[in-house]
Chain A
Amino acid sequence: MTAQHPAEPSGSGSEATTAPDFDGAKRSAIIRQALSISLAVAPFGVAFGVATQQAGLSILEAMGFSLLVFGGSAQFAAVSVLADGGTPLAASLAGVLLSFRSLAFGVAMAPALRGRLWWRALVSQLMIDESTAVGTAQSELRWQRFGYLAGGIGVFVLWNIATLFGASAVAGADDFIEAAGIDATIGAAFLALIWPRLHNTTGKTVALGGAVIAFFGAPILPPGMAIVAAAAAVVLVWGRSPDDPAAGDSTSTTNYGSERR
């Protein structure tokens, strides 16, 4: 094991065996990641609740967005179109553009989310940035699955409580988010989650490619599409041997990266 363990930036790095002790430590490390990221997004849930009230929505409608749509940026986009007097179709379109990345997340998470059809259908609702980030930061498939569920459930619960909170009362949520620097925590959390994958050339190349596409794409492309376009960065390393520890972890390569048919 040359790669540092992706789950804990502060970890010891020697994790060859799967002792019960290690499993427990691993589980709590992942839960800590999931909780941190859930707490980081919660204030935005409050802000979303406030936005629904400014747009004249009922509390039930606010909750409908957070429970059924469950996609932060898509919800914000749709509600801001409604607030500007846009039609439901226009509002939905704005939201859908921001949801397109879920398609790529789904492909990335699919190997870790195998199981019964009803189970896959159920857990798919949790397919958001944060669940995918916590999931894909883990090396083994079973921990990817655990990370996805921990991140997804954590954000789902806190996001909905926060929406209810914001829709019911709180004013000045936006000001608080800015003053406390909470808007910077999301980017920091995402950076922490890809950090272990930046230790080899393949990881660095695709990450840089994705960042450059997102940076120059954002001002030109429709909202949300720059992140989708960033997926194209994989062509930069596509020709390389799959046995090259593609994204900085050797474990998952043995699980599905170098599968022989």
Chain B
Amino acid sequence: MMGSISDASLTILILASASYGLKAAGPLALGGDRQPPPVVQRLALLLPVPLLAAMVVSATVISAGTWSFDARLVGLAAAAVALWRKMPFVVVVIAAAAATAATRAVL
């Protein structure tokens, strides 16, 4: 509709601004010429591990805000075996997809 801004466009404006603020806060406030304070350095080193572990859980056993134990778990197990066997990254990802697809085809 001409003249008035659509609900979707308004959402894009609000959400994009808020998301950008959250994304840029760290690099803008802490990424200057000076070394960030030791607390930040320690946080920067440690934070990725629990966050990524949480994302593994979230991507594997959570669906629509609840637990969902499905074929994705078989895929993750296949990925873990591939990693344990020191397979390359691409193989790990493909193994997960293949194991999940195979499980779904059988069940």
Residues of A whose CB lies within 8 Å of any CB of B are 8-10, 32-33, 36-37, 40, 55, 57-58, 61, 64-65, 68-71, 74, 78, 82, 87-89, 91-92, 95-96, 99-111, 113-115, 117, 120-121, 123-125, 127, 129, 132-133, 136, 178-195, 197, 202-203, 206-211, 213-215, 218-219, 223, 226-227, 229-234, 237-238, 242, 246-247, 252-253, 256-257, 259, 261
Contacts and interface: CB of A to CB of B under 8 A. Distances in A.
A247 B40 contact: no
Given A10-B88, A111-B40, A233-B50, 8 more contacts: A69-B16, A106-B26, A111-B41, A210-B51, A211-B50, A218-B66, A242-B38, A247-B49
A22 to B, nearest CB: 17
A95 B46 contact: no
A230 B56 contact: no
Contacts of A182: 97
A181 B98 contact: yes
B79 to A, nearest CB: 4
Nearest to B67: A219
Given A111-B36, A226-B58, A184 B49 contact: no
Given A111-B41, A181-B97, A188-B76, A259 B35 contact: yes
Query: Interface of chain A, helix or strand or loop or mixed?
Result: helix
Contact of B89 (A9, A65, A104, A110): A9
Interface string B20-33: 10111111111111
Given A103-B25, A110-B31, A181-B71, A215 B61 contact: yes
